[in-house]
């Protein structure tokens, strides 16, 4: 399989890392450090880095400052959320759950949801492509 590299965001043009290949390693401590050094984070906004993108699966590291919200939206595929640091509130139209470090959830596709960082939070989002 041909190794694919990320299409770098303007804020990190020097980064050239594989996001697809037969075997992709992901250095989460390095990405957690990097995400907090970038301008969106420093200006109090959420920041995200796609760490894997292959065959219908995308994994994104997302950092939220305390009090920041990702407003109601819908994912086309199944998602999982795993909290690495902090505490968040995950809301659907029917339920609201708080997740802390080490906890995770899974959500079927097409369910509206929002996320609020209760404390500074870093989590992994895994998203599948829509089922056909």
Tokens of 46: 């959420």
Per-residue pLDDT tens digits for 34-81: 999 999 999 999 999 999 999 899 999 999 999 999 999 999 999 999
Please count the other Cβ atoms lying within 10 Å of the Cβ belonging to residue 90: 20
Specify the long-range contacts of residues 11-19, CB closer than 8 Å, at least 24 apart: 11/38, 11/39, 11/40, 12/38, 12/49, 19/50, 19/51, 19/52, 19/53, 19/54
CATH class of the domain defined by 4-128: mainly beta
Tokens of 7: 């299409």
Question: What's the mean pLDDT when you consider all of the chain?
Answer: 88
Tokens of 102: 């080490």
């Amino acid at each position: 399989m041909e190794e694919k590299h990320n299409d770098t965001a303007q804020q990190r043009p020097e980064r050239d890392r594989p996001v697809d290949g037969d075997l992709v390693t992901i250095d989460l401590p390095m990405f957690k450090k990097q995400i907090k050094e970038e301008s969106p984070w420093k200006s109090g906004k959420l920041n995200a880095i796609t760490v894997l993108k292959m065959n219908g699966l995308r994994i994104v590291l997302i950092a939220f400052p305390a009090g920041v919200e990702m407003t109601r939206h819908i994912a086309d595929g199944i998602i999982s959320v795993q909290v690495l640091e902090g505490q968040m509130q995950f809301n659907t139209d029917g339920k609201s759950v708080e997740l802390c470090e080490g906890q995770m959830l899974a959500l079927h596709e097409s369910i509206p949801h929002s996320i609020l960082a209760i404390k500074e939070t870093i989590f992994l989002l895994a998203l599948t492509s829509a089922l056909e």
